[in-house]
Structure 1
Amino acid sequence: MRILLIHADYVNYEVETRGKFAEEITPDRKEGSLEDPLIAFVSIEENDENSGTESGDLVEKAFREIRKVASKIKVRNVALFPFAHLSESLSSPDFAVSVLKDLEDRFKKSKFNSFRAPFGWYKEFEFRSKGHPLSILSRTVRLN
């Protein structure tokens, strides 16, 4: 799993067009916004799916990495964006959606204010990044 983390003043998204592998969404998920978020652009990779371990282990490790950065920059708002552009070797869409949903649930159970942008939709999104030393980071999460 590859993650690009950006601390922003705000983030907004609105779905535009359904892609080939788009998940079904309810009307309330067609847009979202957060103030002072840590945005996590997440790409689930083929080796994540084929690692032979439970996806829960991957979710927990990713959660800890994102939470660690959120703690350092003192934010409780996390925006999760599926972002296939971080990898050339992607997992299946079904596996990616499952991992992203579990990661979203993990943040909500930990009392973070969060949203997960829908998988497989072309989205218009806007954010304004901050400019401090921890405002843009990347992480690679591996199970083996």
Structure 2
Amino acid sequence: MKVLVFYINSFAYEPQVKNVETAPDPGLGQEINNAILAFIQVEEEDEERDLKSREKKLVNHLKWTARKNNTKRIILHSFAHLSESKASFDFTVDLFNASQSRLENAEYEVFQTPFGYFLDLKIDAPGASLARIWASL
């Protein structure tokens, strides 16, 4: 799994083009402020491991990043451009949902961008030391 994390002052998205036939209705776009924005590429090899172990690894990384940036808000965004390897749509959704549940149980406010859609994005990210972190988990 590859993760590129940004601390953002503000982030907005608007669903545009459906690119996965089975994707559910995306709903309306949204704007979120003062949060960690995680671009996450779940890889094929992640499916060979236990879902819980992948969830724990991702959540621990996101919580650490959120603490370093003094926020309790996290945005999970599936981003299939950090690696050539891609996990299945269903596994990625399951991992995101499990991670969201674990983070919410730890009193984080969690958002997910819609799966299966190309989105228009607006990102305002400061140039602070720990505002951008890449990891291979």
Provide the TM-score with structure 1 as the length reference: 0.89
- The alpha-carbon deviation at position 72 of structure 1 amounts to 1.2
1:1-144 equivalent positions in 2, closer than 5 A? 1-21=1-21, 23-25=23-25, 27=27, 30-51=28-49, 54-141=50-137
- The alpha-carbon deviation at position 136 of structure 1 amounts to 0.7
State the secondary structure of the residue aligned to 2:24. coil
Q: Which amino acid aligns with 1:112?
A: Y
1:53-106 CA distances to partner (integer Å, 9 max, x unpaired)?
Answer: x20111111100110011111111111110001110111111111111211222
% identity of equivalent residues = 23
Does the CA-based 8 Å contact 1:22-1:119 persist in structure 2?
no
Q: 1:91 to 1:32 in 2, by over 3 A?
A: same
Does the CA-based 8 Å contact 2:11-2:123 persist in structure 1?
yes
Q: Which amino acid aligns with 1:19?
A: N
- The alpha-carbon deviation at position 26 of structure 1 amounts to 5.7
RMSD (Å), alpha carbons: 1.4
Identify unmatched segments of 5+ residues in structure 1: none
Provide the TM-score with structure 2 as the length reference: 0.93
